[in-house]
A and B are shown apart, each in its own frame.
Chain A
Amino acid sequence: MKGSSPQRVFQTFLIVACSGACFTLCSAVAAAATGSTPPLSPTNIFAPASTPARSIFSLSLFVLAVTASIFLVVFVLLAYSVVKFRRRASDDGREPPQVYGSNQVELAWTVIPVLIVVALFMATARVIADVQKAAQPDNAIEVVAIGHQFWWEYRYPAFGVVTANELHVPVSNPEHPTPTFIKLLSADTDHSFWVPRLAGKTDLIPNHPNSTWIDPHEPGIYLGQCAQYCGTQHAKMLLRVYVQSREEFDQWIQQQRQPAAVDDAASEGRRIFETTACIDCHTVAGTVASGRFGPDLTHLMSRDTIAAGAAPNTAENLQLWIRNPDAIKPGSLMPAMELNDQQLDALTAYLETLR
């Protein structure tokens, strides 16, 4: 042995390694503990606000406790062997006693893990059933979510409402739950619907309809984003779920069912919109624009963001988005519209009437 004593070297190793692991674990626990107030992150999986996310949260605490205990036991054994059985400076150079094995010991460390596995399996199977086999009550809100490269389309078949990127659902009182059941479809590639505080993720796969459900208990905006790589702009396919009181939600539905507002002051912009390629991809209800590739713009101005949450919905951003979408979201399927400044102003003015 040369240089520093192996003991000191290993103490350092243990400290470095242990602190790394402990830190991770502590952060996880801290994230869990500080859950709702103040939020560590708007997308913290340990701050559940809806039944599926809560079931997962309680299971995760159980699994974390089991794995942390296993870690402690094995880590102590490892650390003890490394320190206790290191070769000493005073070593006599003889080989230690050779032990080839022990069936009793092997049996013990086979049976105990098997019991742990059975316990973990039963706890897990129960939560799988709770979440996946939940029956849809009659008063549930039905939404169809369709994943597109790189935005979300939402349809409310019962209300005749079509919107994009910002999902509105009513708050669900645990006493009288009004959950939202979401059917998940894809128009092109695979996507995944993941709002961590409301539920685990479920993929949207073409030719393979899926579903998920949420019953948020508190009003507010819940964030998430696409969690299955879907192409160039996978990163900016953001999710926003607006949880509103039942009255606000009904109001919102009423407002979304109206056809597009007509404002003669913006007729020039409307003419440009309806005579350029805009209408190939976008719908404005009650006009000739009936494209299906892009988001429905009938009530564009009722949304807080554009480009699937990539930018706030302001006049400047709208202009920038129409002029050069790559400035906001490089690789998005929205083409640059090549309009002159007057056309751009007129078009933006028209879009701003779509309340």
Chain B
Amino acid sequence: MESDVKKRVAVPLFAIFLLAFVFSIGQAEVIAGREIPFLQQSQGDQEKNETETIVPAPEDIKQATALYVFLGWIWLSIGVLIFFLRLKIKEVDRLHGLGYFSEDKD
């Protein structure tokens, strides 16, 4: 019972930690004032690009933050899904222990 409560607390805490982590990365960029060129190309830039290496990254801090929030949501969704899957596993293991699936076999 107690371990169940701990798990219920641990999953949201983990999700919050992840969100905080991705936000802090975004914030760190704001503080550092880092501008990552997106290398948006136009036809006129073609010649210039031939001598450059394209390092993909978000265009500006807005895009960067959006990306990190998206990643945060992905991890949050993964956390929630894992939580429900663990409950499902417990349930199907209990049913297997009771021989529910072997009855199906017959």
Please say whether chains A and B are actual partners in one complex.
Answer: no
The chain A residues found within 8 Å of chain B, CB to CB, are none
